[in-house]
Structures are given as structure tokens and as C-alpha cells.
Structure 1
Amino acid sequence: MVTEFFMAMIPPTVTHQEKQVHVVNGKPVFYEPPELRTARAKIKGHLAIYKPDQKYTEPIELVAKWCFPRGKHKDGEYRSSKPDTDNLQKLLKDCMTSVGFWTDDALVCREIAEKFWADIPGIYIRVSEL
């Protein structure tokens, strides 16, 4: 089984790493700042359209190409500035789990993550069974 699509959008630059913590009665309490909640809702809203009929249950490969608005950069030029791909991927995989792409993101056994500057911003995603 293969699921492949492009979500035309301006990808969020806020990542899972930006969770916040404060102390209540001497214990840490973690929370998501509003920007992270907004980014999560945006990604989940776009992903819902492409949710497969059946969840993946076997080992998979996840390919994600993050295409950010290019501004002064060349179309297709690699983006070497923040956010880091591992932080982008964490948020994406959490959202894909929540939407129902797979039973657990631990099934992602092979992963390719790239980030570019692009004329057409969005996130290209391909999920395939290994």
C-alpha cells in the first residue's frame, strides 16, 4: 500500500520542541503555546483529506519534503536554516498518528526528510509499506 500527496500550504515553522513548562505546586506542567496548537490544527486539517481507508499496521517508509515560500532564494534550493527536520517530522508524525494514518508512529522504520525553498509551498508526503 502507498499513500502519496502534496498539501499546498505555507508549512508552519513552529515545532514540537516549542512546548512550554511551568511549575505548579512544585511539579512541572507541560503545555502547548497557542502557535503550536494552531500549527498542529493546520497540519491535521490538511492531512484529514488524505487519510487512508485503512491504517498502516506494518513497517513503513515516510518521505516528507517541506517546501517553504522561497522569498529571495532559488526554487528548489535546500533550506539550511531552522526549523530542524527532526523537529518538523516529530510534529508531522504526531499529527499523522492523531488523524489515523497508522496505529503507531513507531511503524516508521525508514524516513527521508528534506526542506526546500519553493515557488509552490507545501508538504509532499509519501507513505509506503516496507
Structure 2
Amino acid sequence: MELQFFLPMIPPTCTHQEKQVSVVTGKPVFYDPPQIKAARSKLTAMLAKHRPERPIKGKGVRLIVKWLFPKGRHQDGEYRITKPDTDNLQKLLKDCMTEVGFWKDDAQVCSEISEKFWAAIPGIWIRVEEI
């Protein structure tokens, strides 16, 4: 199985690392603040249009992602070397892809390439390969 698609959007800059914690009956409870809930909801809705007929089970997955942020004063295609970090961006994306049904468990992602660019056309380009 091999999928490749583009999500035309301004990529979220809030990340999985921004979870909040509160104490309920003496125990910590983690929760997503509103901006993460909004990003998760938007990603999930857009990813659902591209999910495979069946989740990948029992096989490794290669995930290639290009994060394309609005270029502003930067050159189209110039690498983005500022926050958010790619590993934090990927965590939210993989959680959403798991929720939507791309694979059974994101632990199956055993090969991963993630790049951030400034781009004239913002969005997220994604390639999923069974390996």
C-alpha cells in the first residue's frame, strides 16, 4: 500500500508538547488546550478524506512529511529553521492519522522523514508506504 496526498492548509504551529495539566482529587489530569483541540479537529477532518480502505496492520510504515508554512518574507522552498520542532509537529499528526485509521498503531512507523519549508502554497504533503 502506498498513499501520497496534499492537505492545503496553514499547518498548525501548536504541538502535542503543549498539553496542560490540572490536579483533580489529588491526581494530575492532562488535557488539550483549545488551540490543540482545534488543530487536532482540523487535521483529523482533512486526513479522513485520504485514509486507506483498511488500516495497515502487522507491517512497518515509512512516513514522509513536508510541512509547508506561509513564506512571508522568506524564499519559496527555503528550509524553516525556527519552531515548532519537527518531532513535535509529527507527534500530533501521527496521533491524528492513528485516530482516523491509517494504521493500527503509530509504533508501526519505523522510517520517518520530516522537513519544514517556507512555501508560496502552504500545506502538509504526506506520503505513507508499507515496508
How far is 1:6 from its partner? 0.5
Aligned to 1:30: 30
Give the letter aligned to residue 86 of structure 2: T
Aligned to 1:5: 5
Question: Residue 21 of structure 1: SS of its match in structure 2?
Answer: strand
* Aligned-partner Cα distance in 1 for 2:22–2:51: 35
Aligned positions, number: 130
Aligned to 2:64: 63
1:51 aligns with 2:51: yes
How far is 1:25 from its partner? 2.4
Aligned to 1:39: 39
Percent identity at matched positions?
Answer: 64
* Aligned-partner Cα distance in 2 for 1:113–1:129: 17
Structure 2: unaligned runs, 5 residues or longer: none
Structure 1: unaligned runs, 5 residues or longer: none
Aligned to 1:21: 21
* Aligned-partner Cα distance in 2 for 1:51–1:129: 14
1:57-114 deviations in Å (ceiling 9; x for gaps): 1101000000000000000000011000000000000000000000110110000000
Aligned to 1:117: 118
